[in-house]
With several copies, the nearest count.
Chain A
Amino acid sequence: MISETQKWKVGQRASPQKLSSSKGLFRVGKGFALGSILPIILLIAWEIAARVGLLAPHLLPAPSIILEKIISMYRDGSLFGHVSITLTRVLLGFAIGTAAAVVIGAIVGYAKTAEQVLDPLFQAFRSIPSLAWVPLFILWMGIGEPSKISLIAVGVFFPVYLNIVAGIQGVDRKLIEVGRIYQLTPFQLTKRIILPAALPSFITGMRSGLGLGWMFVVAAELMGASEGLGYLLVVGQNTYSPDTVIASILLFAILGKGTDALLKWIEYRSLKWQDSINNQA
């Protein structure tokens, strides 16, 4: 198939496209609408399947029942408690994990020796499952908030670290040389050239890390929590209430998507300079 616009023949050239002036809100709205199609279809199909009896209610209750559950949690005030405590834990853990990953990742990405000494250990730790960390963290830090937040930070750390190291090691030598010409110290070089150049990769890492933060929260809340979405999930499983389990999964999905949308927006804002397909005039 030959692209139409490539031929020099009357009538085959695509007629000129006008730059749509109705950008902004309208486009955001359209994106949102498109993004909602699939989830809504899935929910409807699920509801119908449940009503018709394809899904046994004690295994997979209908969305309407889940919604009722969530509303009842909202009414008795426990919803806010679960959500806010989990959100706080994830955000704190995310902040700490990201900060650690930036510092260590910058050192490892920049200094060959640091990489050789530190990287193998981190790569080995990276594949240790969250559940395996739980007893170790209880041992080291007890069952208070610090150990919960640290565990989440560990989960966040690895993808951010990995992406930042890869990002730094992929920075164009040509740009680094510009910094060297201006006699930047390694710290300045990192701050003024390497990190901005590695930013796209860094943000991807943050998004990946945030996802892991949400996952690690369950393990974290196995450490003596009495509130939170992860707690809710485990209690739901332990008390055999699929509506609680699925309500908590749904809340995980919604909060995860929400926090990710925030990062995506930051990505969009801070990568406007990229000469990529997305940033066409």
Chain B
Amino acid sequence: SSSAKEGEKPEKIRLDYAFYSPTSLALKKFGWAEETFKKEGIEVEWIQSQGSNKALEFLNSDSVDFGSTAGAAALIAKDKGAPIESVYIYSQPEWTALVAKDGSPIKDVKDLKGKKVAATFGTDPHIFLLRALADAGLSAKDVQIVNLQHADGANALLKGQVDAWAGLDPHMARTEVESGAQYIYRNPDFNTYGTLNVRSEFAKNHPEQVEQVIELYEKARKWTLENPEEAAKLLSEEAGIKEDVAKKQLERNNFSEPVPGSQHEKAISAAGEVLQTEEIVKKDTDIKKLVSELINPKYAEKVIKK
């Protein structure tokens, strides 16, 4: 499949789907991809990604052709040499925020000074925390960041093991709905978008198919926008979460800007700078250049203008 030469059709296209990308769920559910590609004699394979890290692992090892990740995750991987490009924005999610327990004295980012905050290193919530701290004039050294997996972070917060948590949906939506956790700080702009990435080799060999996939994603995006109720139901069924949680999660997704553009570049660059100070992105990396290498709006522009 992937070894097919330039210009030739691939035998098979491998797409990922993920609970954090509702459009991918719709696309998979309705079988539009199969429909489109069957006509051309191309097989479609769906593989589930449990998180950005898994999607990137699959992309890296040539196990999928398209993978859905957070923008910052793709940037970190690109910095380490992953041969990928982001060709489409599946949503601007507000999937992360700073959360404290119900009734906690912490009301503001400034109150976090000297406190324990749970976050998963290298992920969007972690970046969000760092940017929120910087915004409030604090640095990572002013708080104690406890590295916990997303679900464990939620538990640790509720058990009072940590004072605050850089949360992620759907955990965050659920803690909000079920145990009345409070938000300390929200800022959709500090989230780094959900990007659809393609392996550079695949894009180079099969530009047409990349466009076709983007077209399909567009179709799914429109359906999601038009049918929010059904989309929530779909998410709740697929991921096995409650419908009100799913609804909350969907509400926080902005599906309006699918073509990678300057606002995306800016958000991802800002994340990159924070990551660089934390030495997660190499010190000598030119962030601007890296971001422009990563983000390739060419295909989406062509499809969506059309």
Query: A residues bordering B, Cβ < 8 Å?
Result: 56-59, 134-135, 138-139, 142-143, 222-226, 231, 234-242, 244
Contact = CB atoms under 8 A, between A and B. Distances in A.
Given A143-B47, A143-B63, A240-B76, A59 B155 contact: yes
B277 interface: no
Interface in B3-41: 19
22 contacts: A56-B179, A58-B82, A58-B83, A58-B178, A59-B61, A59-B158, A135-B155, A224-B47, A224-B118, A224-B148, A224-B156, A225-B147, A226-B147, A235-B147, A235-B239, A235-B240, A238-B121, A239-B170, A239-B239, A240-B76, A240-B77, A240-B151
Given A235-B50, A238-B19, A56 B58 contact: no
A56 B158 contact: yes
B241 A239 contact: yes
B122 A222 contact: no
* B contact face: mostly helix, strand, loop, or mixed: mixed
B80 A242 contact: yes
7 A-B pairs with the lowest CB-CB distances in the bound complex, closest first: A58-B81, A238-B122, A240-B171, A239-B122, A224-B146, A240-B77, A237-B151
Interface string B160-173: 01100000001100
Contacts, number: 143
A3 to B, nearest CB: 50
Contacts of A234: 50, 121, 147
A193 to B, nearest CB: 46
B89 interface: no
A134 B56 CA distance: 13
B241 to A, nearest CB: 5
A43 B155 CA distance: 22
A226 to B, nearest CB: 5
Given A138-B57, A240-B171, A57 B81 contact: yes
A256 B148 CA distance: 25
B295 to A, nearest CB: 17
B149 interface: yes
Contacts of B149: 134, 222, 237
Contact of A58 (B48, B58, B148, B158): B158
Given A58-B174, A135-B151, A135-B152, A143 B161 contact: yes
B54 interface: yes
Contacts of A58: 60, 80-83, 158, 174-175, 178-179
A208 B162 CA distance: 35
B280 interface: yes
A58 B48 CA distance: 23
Which residue of B49, B81, B149 has the most chain A CB atoms within 10 A of its CB atom?
B149
Nearest to A78: B240
A239 B249 CA distance: 11
Interface string B39-77: 000000011111101101110111100000000010011
Nearest to A58: B81
A238 B82 contact: no
Contacts of A238: 19, 50-51, 53, 120-123, 150-151
Given A238-B122, A241-B240, A139 B155 contact: yes
Nearest to B80: A240
Which residue of B60, B83, B145, B147 has the most chain A CB atoms within 10 A of its CB atom?
B147
Contact of A224 (B56, B58, B79, B122): B58
Which residue of B54, B62, B145 has the most chain A CB atoms within 10 A of its CB atom?
B54
A57 to B, nearest CB: 6
B141 interface: no
Nearest to B81: A58
B179 to A, nearest CB: 6
A142 B161 contact: yes
Which residue of A134, A226, A237, A244 has the most chain B CB atoms within 10 A of its CB atom?
A237
B147 A138 contact: no
Contact of A231 (B53, B63, B147, B178): B147
Nearest to A243: B80
Which residue of A143, A222, A226 has the most chain B CB atoms within 10 A of its CB atom?
A143
A53 to B, nearest CB: 13
B48 A226 contact: yes
Interface in B122-166: 122-123, 145-152, 154-156, 158-159, 161-162
Contacts of B73: 240
Contacts of A225: 48, 147
Contacts of B50: 222, 234-235, 238
Given A56-B158, A240-B122, 19 more contacts: A58-B178, A138-B63, A138-B156, A139-B155, A139-B159, A143-B63, A224-B48, A224-B118, A224-B148, A224-B156, A235-B19, A235-B147, A235-B239, A235-B240, A236-B240, A238-B150, A239-B19, A239-B239, A240-B77
Which residue of B61, B120, B146, B175 has the most chain A CB atoms within 10 A of its CB atom?
B61
A93 to B, nearest CB: 19
A235 B57 CA distance: 14
Which residue of A234, A238, A244 has the most chain B CB atoms within 10 A of its CB atom?
A238
A234 B51 CA distance: 11
A138 B161 contact: yes
Contacts of B146: 143, 224, 226
B241 A241 contact: yes
